[in-house]
């Protein structure tokens, strides 16, 4: 561990405790604003509400339009969906140590979802859309930064916050803002919920999402069956061969997730669509997957009257832990034990914006948000006491970084 000067940070940590009621009220307020990824008006409303909360930080504010989300529909046509804006706040870009904070505005719950309100499950557990993923985390992040700004140590740290609108659908449009920030910052703090016990996600798998379209030739199933070219059959062959790749390479899993095609019983189907996801552990696994899939595509494309095409890409690279990233985890766990928390980090198959940041070489912890669970379901819950606990954890990390006399492990290779 880098040596830390002995400082008493308790006044600012205690101040966070005094903020509990406000943090809870704000989390509930944000949860009640629907911000499904495809509800740009709601996403923007959350962004503006956060700017209200963040006024006290006195940062430079930028509203950043995000490119429409592109998607191949079930007719094989490219569709575009408007996204909400990203929001960036910047402070002290000249400071020696630059920190990137990130959290998403969107949730997986669409405008017409039945799940729009919070309710108490017991005294300590709040159920509601986004309370853990990630609206509680947004409140934790802002409160930790506010504590830093109130302390005498703030001058040593510059920071930028990115609130992005499309994380739940892969950050297609906001990934550019993350890689841009990576050029300016030394470390990242992202506010996805922790594991339910408070532990952090360490290594993360990479992920790719793909769509496949097969096209054949329609014909009457009775009179001219021989003239038809069956797109559903071609797709079934593709999916069978694709699924057979499972188990052939350690750490790689492929999930055929959807198939849609065909119509009336008396027509040879001329169109079929499917979607699948790949998870992998090592960057070089990507090429192995692409080579093997290409072989399957080539075989089907050689068939008379049939064609197959693939869209999509690996949007998230595997998150591997660099030496600097391990030190950052150690710092977080040390801060945890000072606060009476027993924390560690564990690998996961899930991925998030922390993958993107690690790909750009920036050590980061991406599960600094609240404790909760059952995210992406209407059982999503937040352990409300974790709002202040997790804000204190981040604030202590920030104050320790601000007062450390050895930051070479973080800033040696990067001029500011």
**Which of 37/98 has CB closer to Zn ion?**
37
Rounded to the nearest whole angstrom, what is the least distance from the CB of residue 128 to Zn ion in the complex?
14
Q: Please count the other Cβ atoms lying within 10 Å of the Cβ belonging to residue 73.
A: 11
**Which of 167/286 has CB closer to Zn ion?**
167
Which region, judged by CB under 5 A, interacts with Zn ion, from 93-101, 131-139, 231-239, 331-339? 131-139
**Which of 13/357 has CB closer to Zn ion?**
357
CA-CA distances (angstroms) from residue 130 to 31, 118, 138, 392? 6, 10, 10, 21
**Which of 46/134 has CB closer to Zn ion?**
134
Rounded to the nearest whole angstrom, what is the least distance from the CB of residue 105 to Zn ion in the complex?
10
Rounded to the nearest whole angstrom, what is the least distance from the CB of residue 107 to Zn ion in the complex?
8
Rounded to the nearest whole angstrom, what is the least distance from the CB of residue 357 to Zn ion in the complex?
14
Contacts of Zn ion in 355-394 (CB under 5 A) = none
Which region, judged by CB under 5 A, interacts with Zn ion, from 74-82, 134-142, 209-217, 285-293? 134-142
Contacts of Zn ion in 164-223 (CB under 5 A) = 192
Rounded to the nearest whole angstrom, what is the least distance from the CB of residue 277 to Zn ion in the complex?
17
Rounded to the nearest whole angstrom, what is the least distance from the CB of residue 354 to Zn ion in the complex?
11
Figure out which of the listed residues 30, 50, 86, 134 binds Zn ion, where binding follows CB under 5 A: 134
**Which of 153/200 has CB closer to Zn ion?**
200
**Which of 133/166 has CB closer to Zn ion?**
133
Rounded to the nearest whole angstrom, what is the least distance from the CB of residue 309 to Zn ion in the complex?
31
Tell me: does residue 281 bind Zn ion (CB under 5 A): no
Figure out which of the listed residues 106, 133, 166, 359 binds Zn ion, where binding follows CB under 5 A: 133
**Which of 132/212 has CB closer to Zn ion?**
132
Rounded to the nearest whole angstrom, what is the least distance from the CB of residue 118 to Zn ion in the complex?
17
**Which of 40/137 has CB closer to Zn ion?**
137
Which region, judged by CB under 5 A, interacts with Zn ion, from 41-49, 128-136, 171-179, 244-252? 128-136
Which region, judged by CB under 5 A, interacts with Zn ion, from 54-62, 72-80, 126-134, 243-251? 126-134
Q: Which residue is nearest to Zn ion (CB)?
A: 133
**Which of 133/146 has CB closer to Zn ion?**
133
- In SS3 terms, the chain reads as CCCECCCCCHHHHHHHHCCHHHHHHHHHHHHCCCCECCCHHHHHHHHHHHHHHHHHHCCEEEEECCCCEEEECCCCCEEEECCCCEEEEEECCCCCEEEEEEEECCECCCCCCCCCCCEEEECCEEECCCHHHHHHHHHHHHHHHHHHHHCCCHHHEEEEEEEECCHHHCCCCCHHHHHHHHCCCCEEEEECCCCCCCCEEEEECEEEEEEEEEECECCECCCCHHHCECHHHHHHHHHHHHHCCCCCCCCCEEEEEEEEECCCCCECCCEEEEEEEEEECCCCHHHHHHHHHHHHHHHHHCCCCCEEEEEEEEEECCECCCHHHHHHHHHHHHHHHHCCCCCCEEEECCCCHHHHHHHCCCCEECECCCCEECCCCCCCEEECCHHHHHHHHHHHHHHHHHHECCCHHHHCCCCC
Check the CA dihedral 191-177-185-282 and report its sign: positive
Total residues in contact with Zn ion, by rule CB under 5 A: 3
**Which of 192/281 has CB closer to Zn ion?**
192
Backbone angles phi, psi at 179, to 5 degrees: -70, -30
Rounded to the nearest whole angstrom, what is the least distance from the CB of residue 380 to Zn ion in the complex?
11
Rounded to the nearest whole angstrom, what is the least distance from the CB of residue 87 to Zn ion in the complex?
16
d(CA 193, CA 195): 7
Asked whether the beta carbons of 190 and 335 are under 8 A apart, the reply is: no
Question: Which residues would be at the binding site for Zn ion (CB under 5 A)?
Answer: 133-134, 192
């Amino acid at each position: 561990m880098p040596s830390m000067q002995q400082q008493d940070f308790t006044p600012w940590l205690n101040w966070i405790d005094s903020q509990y009621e406000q943090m809870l009220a704000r989390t509930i307020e944000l949860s009640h604003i629907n911000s499904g990824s495809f509800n740009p008006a709601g996403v923007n409303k959350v962004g503006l509400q956060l700017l209200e909360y963040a006024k006290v930080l006195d940062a430079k504010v930028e509203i950043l339009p995000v490119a429409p989300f592109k998607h191949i529909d079930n007719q094989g046509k490219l569709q575009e969906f408007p996204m909400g804006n990203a929001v960036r706040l910047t402070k002290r870009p000249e400071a020696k140590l630059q920190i990137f904070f990130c959290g998403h505005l969107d949730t997986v719950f669409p405008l017409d979802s039945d799940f729009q309100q919070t309710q108490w499950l017991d005294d300590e557990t709040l159920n509601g859309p986004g309370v853990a993923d990630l609206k509680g985390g947004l409140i934790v992040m802002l409160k930790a930064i506010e504590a830093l700004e109130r302390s005498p140590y703030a001058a040593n740290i510059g920071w930028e916050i990115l609130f992005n609108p499309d994380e739940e659908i892969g950050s297609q449009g906001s990934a550019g803002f993350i890689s841009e920030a990576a050029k300016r910052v030394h470390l990242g703090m992202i506010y996805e919920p922790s594991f339910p016990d408070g532990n952090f996600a360490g290594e993360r798998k990479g992920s790719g999402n793909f769509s496949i379209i097969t096209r054949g030739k329609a014909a009457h199933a009775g009179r001219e069956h021989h003239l038809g070219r069956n797109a559903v059959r071609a797709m079934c062959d593709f999916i069978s061969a694709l699924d057979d790749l499972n188990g052939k390479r350690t750490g790689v899993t492929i999930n055929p997730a959807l198939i849609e095609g065909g119509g009336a019983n008396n027509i040879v189907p001329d169109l079929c669509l499917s979607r699948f996801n790949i998870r992998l552990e090592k960057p070089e696994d990507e090429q192995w997957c692409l080579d093997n899939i290409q072989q399957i595509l080539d075989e089907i494309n050689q068939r008379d009257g049939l064609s197959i095409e693939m869209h999509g890409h690996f949007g998230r690279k595997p998150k591997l832990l660099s030496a600097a990233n391990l030190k950052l985890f150690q710092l977080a766990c040390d801060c945890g034990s000072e606060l009476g928390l027993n924390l560690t980090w564990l690998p996961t198959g899930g991925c998030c914006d922390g993958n993107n940041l690690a790909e750009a070489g920036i050590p980061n912890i991406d599960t600094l948000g609240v404790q909760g669970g059952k995210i992406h379901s209407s059982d999503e819950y937040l352990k409300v006491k974790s709002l202040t606990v997790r804000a204190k954890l981040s604030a202590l990390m920030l104050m320790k970084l601000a007062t450390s006399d050895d930051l070479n492990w973080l800033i040696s290779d990067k001029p500011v």
